[in-house]
């Protein structure tokens, strides 16, 4: 069904096990960002479409919650198999609609599959706990139950991994799900839906409604949707969290980032450079765990910065499907223009432009080259804002303490990395940095499925994060039974 023929086809929503045309008259063009080729058209669905999905998901929940947990898990195992068999096809779809290179796309597919593997452990993860003797002849036990229909709202930058943070676990635990993928990357999710259905998932358990504001507002307001998982930018996440909470729903909103990497004098120079270039410019900087600022200790700053520029100049730009290409395009023309505006702003505010990505722009696609600013200070817009493009700021510092003081001024606190061989510095960093996901001698500290994706400050709104045991708590509610068993009289 997802074979592309070169002519743009109109995508359909998936509701109750059927591909259904949206009620809308509005369709948005979806482009391959590396070629500007029109690849399909996505419906900007209506509130009516969403309401239909919510009713279907509610009806399906009544049956799905009663399916024994190991039986639900078996469907997840089938899904895992199918995803593994389609690994290459999934990765090519990601590259085609998102632009990241094929190696990165394959990595993303792997990350998504890990989430399915984690969710297949539902029989263990869903266990409650008990205490045989909490008072004389009294015991207490805690049982977990699903919560109902869950809505998921996803961004464009990880079309497979991010939805997989949400629906496999929610569904394995007995909930039903409505996914609203990004309207800019709709094809990968279409494939996920097909494969999950092929794995034996009953109709109505996993539904997908394409769209934008109206569908999001429908998810925020529909009384049958009990919980919402959001991943996207800070302004939208803040809105989703406030509105969803106001409507008494459980909400987790994972949002923007401005991640700092600190390089100390005793870091391994070559490894650090490789990691920083990859973390700053990989996926065109469109990662919530991208390295946006690198602070370097004075002792190695001159050499580090010179070699950073040298390495960044060598980065191969192009269509991510081509061999050897590292840096693909940003997602749309608007994102490219916005990046150019940030470069102009950086110059205007007094930062020194060490490497100008505008010189490597090409009109074949939405390409912009690696950009590096030096002499950046925390009052500058390029330091404060999430640019979400291949733009890196470099700051020289006296020591680790100063580097941490700078990083902690950011309103965001998703990830932070330290490159050093000093154990005491590592501990100091862990104890003093404001960030929820830390990397030591690695560039992108994105936790695997078994640990929470635990951003702090404006990078996260809510209490329970995506993934890890947090996700089990987020997608379940508990019943605690306290029971008295008077000693029987056996005479």
Binding site for ligand NAD (CB under 6 A): 153-158, 162, 180, 182-183, 212-213, 216, 231-233, 236, 254-257, 288, 386, 388, 414, 453, 455, 459
Whether 291 sits among the annotated catalytic residues: the reply is: no
* CB nearer to ligand NAD: pick between 186 and 357: 186
The annotation status of 411 as a binding-site residue, yes or no, is no
Paired with 145 in beta bridges are 477
* Residue 195 or 253 with smaller CB distance to ligand NAD: 253
Task: Closer to ligand NAD by CB, 125 or 288: give it.
Answer: 288
Give burial (CB, 10 Å; 0-12/13-18/19+) of 457.
middle
Residues 320/101, Cβ–Cβ less than 8 Å: yes
108 annotated ligand binder: no
Which CB, 162 or 251, lies closer to ligand NAD?
162
CB of 416 to ligand NAD, least distance (A): 14
What burial class does residue 1 get, using C-beta atoms within 10 Å of its C-beta: 0-12 exposed, 13-18 middle, 19+ buried?
exposed
Q: How far apart are CA 255 and CA 241, in angstroms?
A: 11
The response to whether 190 counts as a known ligand-binding position is no
Rounded CA separation 129/126 (Å): 10
Work out the number of other CB atoms within 10 angstroms of the CB of residue 191.
20
How far apart are CB 303 and ligand NAD at their closest, in Å?
A: 31
146 or 468: whose CB is closer to ligand NAD? 468
- Which whole-number Å values give the CA distances from 61 to 58, 144, 207, 224, 416, in the listed order? 5, 15, 12, 11, 40
Which CB, 102 or 254, lies closer to ligand NAD? Answer: 254
Q: Min. distance of Cβ 239 from ligand NAD in angstroms?
A: 6
Residue 289 C-beta: closest distance to ligand NAD, Å: 8
- Dihedral sign for Cα atoms in the order 184, 47, 11, 14: positive
Whole-number Å distance between alpha carbons of 39 and 4 = 8
386 is in an annotated binding site: yes
The encoded tokens of residue 349 equal 């505010």
255 known ligand binder: yes
Output the six-digit token pair for 326: 């590292």
Is-contact 353 376, C-beta < 8 A? no
For the CB of residue 335, give the shortest distance to ligand NAD in the complex, in Å: 8
Residue number, 162 or 397, with CB nearest to ligand NAD: 162
Three-state DSSP class for 478?
A: strand
Residue of closest CB approach to ligand NAD = 232
Min dist CB 156 to ligand NAD, Å, is 4
User: Which ranges of 349-480 would DSSP assign to H, the alpha helix?
Assistant: 381-384, 400-407, 423-432, 468-474
CB of 413 to ligand NAD, least distance (A): 10
Catalytic member of 40, 164, 288, 291: 288
Q: Euclidean distance between the first and final Cα of the chain, in Å?
A: 72
Query: How far are the Cα atoms of 22, 109, 175, 362, 445 from residue 452, in angstroms, in the given order?
Result: 35, 19, 20, 39, 12
Nearest to 423 by CA among 280, 286, 264: 264
CA distances from 412 to 168, 259, 353, 442 (A): 28, 8, 24, 20
- Annotated binding-site members for NAD(+): 154, 156, 180, 183-184, 255, 386
Q: Which positions are catalytic?
A: 288
Known binding-site residue numbers: 154, 156, 180, 183-184, 255, 386
């Amino acid at each position: 069904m997802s074979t592309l023929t070169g002519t743009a086809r109109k995508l359909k929503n998936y509701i109750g096990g059927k591909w259904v045309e949206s009620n809308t008259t509005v369709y948005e063009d979806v482009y391959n960002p590396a070629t500007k080729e029109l690849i399909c058209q996505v419906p900007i669905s209506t509130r009516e479409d969403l309401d239909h999905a919510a009713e279907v998901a509610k009806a399906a929940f009544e049956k799905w919650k009663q399916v024994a947990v190991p039986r639900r898990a078996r469907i997840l195992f089938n899904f895992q198999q199918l995803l593994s068999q389609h690994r290459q096809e999934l990765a090519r779809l990601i590259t085609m609609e998102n632009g990241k290179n094929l190696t990165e796309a394959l990595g993303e597919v792997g990350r998504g599959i890990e989430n399915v593997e984690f969710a297949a452990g539902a029989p263990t993860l869903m266990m409650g706990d008990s205490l045989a003797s909490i008072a004389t002849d009294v015991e207490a036990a805690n049982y977990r139950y699903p919560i109902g229909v869950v809505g998921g709202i996803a961004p464009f930058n990880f079309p497979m991994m991010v939805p997989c943070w949400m629906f496999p676990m929610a569904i394995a635990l007995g909930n039903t799900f409505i996914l609203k993928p990004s309207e800019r990357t709709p094809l990968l999710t279409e494939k996920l839906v097909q494969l999950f259905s092929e794995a034996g998932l009953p109709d109505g358990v996993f539904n997908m409604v394409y769209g934008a504001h109206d569908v999001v507002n429908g998810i925020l307001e529909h009384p049958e949707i009990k919980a919402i998982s959001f991943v996207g930018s800070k302004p939208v996440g803040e809105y989703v969290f406030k509105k969803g909470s106001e409507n008494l729903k459980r909400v987790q909103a994972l949002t923007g980032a401005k991640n700092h990497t600190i390089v100390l004098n005793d870091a391994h120079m070559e490894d650090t450079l490789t990691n920083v270039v990859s973390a700053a410019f990989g996926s065109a900087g469109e990662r919530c765990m991208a390295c946006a600022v690198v602070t370097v200790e004075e002792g190695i700053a001159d050499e580090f910065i010179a070699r950073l520029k040298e390495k960044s100049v060598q980065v191969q730009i192009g269509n991510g499907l081509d061999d050897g290409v590292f840096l693909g395009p940003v997602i749309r023309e608007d994102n490219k223009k916005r990046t150019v505006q940030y470069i102009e702003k950086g110059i205007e505010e007094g930062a020194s432009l060490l490497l100008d990505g505008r010189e490597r722009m090409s009109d074949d696609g939405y390409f912009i080259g690696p950009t590096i600013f030096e002499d950046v200070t925390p009052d500058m817009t390029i330091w404060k804002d999430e640019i979400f493009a291949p733009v890196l700021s470099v700051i020289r510092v006296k020591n680790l303490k100063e580097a941490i003081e700078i990083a902690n001024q950011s309103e965001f606190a998703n990830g932070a990395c330290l490159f050093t061989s000093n154990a005491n510095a590592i501990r100091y960093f862990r104890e003093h940095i404001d960030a929820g996901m830390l990397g030591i001698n690695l560039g992108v500290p994105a936790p695997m499925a078994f640990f929470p994706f635990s951003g702090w400050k404006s990078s996260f709104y809510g209490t329970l994060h995506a993934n890890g045991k947090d996700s089990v708590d987020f997608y379940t509610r508990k019943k605690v039974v306290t029971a008295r068993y008077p000693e029987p009289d056996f005479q």
